[in-house]
Amino acid sequence: MTAVPRRPARGLSPLLVPLLVGGLVMLALGVYGRAHTPTGFAVGVAGFSAALPMKAWLTTGAFVLAIVQVLSALSMWGRLGIAVPPAVHRWSGRLAFLLTIPVAFHCLYALGLQYDVPRVLVHSLLGCFFYGVFTAKLLALPRRDAPGWTLPVLGGLAFTVLVGLWLTSSFWFFTAVGFRV
């Protein structure tokens, strides 16, 4: 399987709207997270003992699916030498995103954007950045006139930010608290 060829772009103008909207999403989440008074109450922890284990495990699931995303993207771009159906890439991305929704909702609603502890500040900023990059990637996806590097760069950024989110949340939780459910 090879990627759908893109026509040469006339500069970065095809990315203006996706990047602008992605930046606005990132900014809106940050402003909301900072301006909203956190409730301190856990939401949506069905099946888990508390909010932190829920967030750690769902983020770990998204992280594993993000690895599938990278491998399937490499396959679609002809970099692995094996053919992975494009549906694997689409569905692993959809599922990874869905796993992040209850985590982000809890973070914003119950905790807000925090800056007291460096790890938590980095995690909060990465969370906002993740949704901004994800938005930009989805809006750039149908743009056939975007530069050829657009999807690999935005996808790579989304993956890198998700790794950072996993390290500042799940990895921290598993090493500091343990493997609780």
Q: What is the torsional sign of CA 74, 78, 84, 90?
A: positive
Domains of the chain, by residue range, sit at: 22-37+50-176
What pLDDT is recorded for position 2? Answer: 57
Give the pLDDT score at 9.
44
Please give the pLDDT value at position 43. 73
pLDDT beneath 50: ranges in the chain:
9
Query: Half-sphere exposure (CA, 13 Å, Cβ side) for 22?
Result: 22
Structure confidence at residue 113 (pLDDT): 87
3's CB contacts (< 8 A; 6+ apart) are: 76, 77, 78
User: Would you say 144 and 39 are in contact if contact means Cβ atoms under 8 Å apart?
Assistant: no
| Average model confidence (pLDDT) across the chain | 90
The pTM of this model reads 0.87
* Residue-level pLDDT at 6: 55
What pLDDT was estimated at residue 27? 97
- Integer CA distances (angstroms), 171 to 27, 119, 161, in order: 26, 12, 14
pLDDT at 179: 85
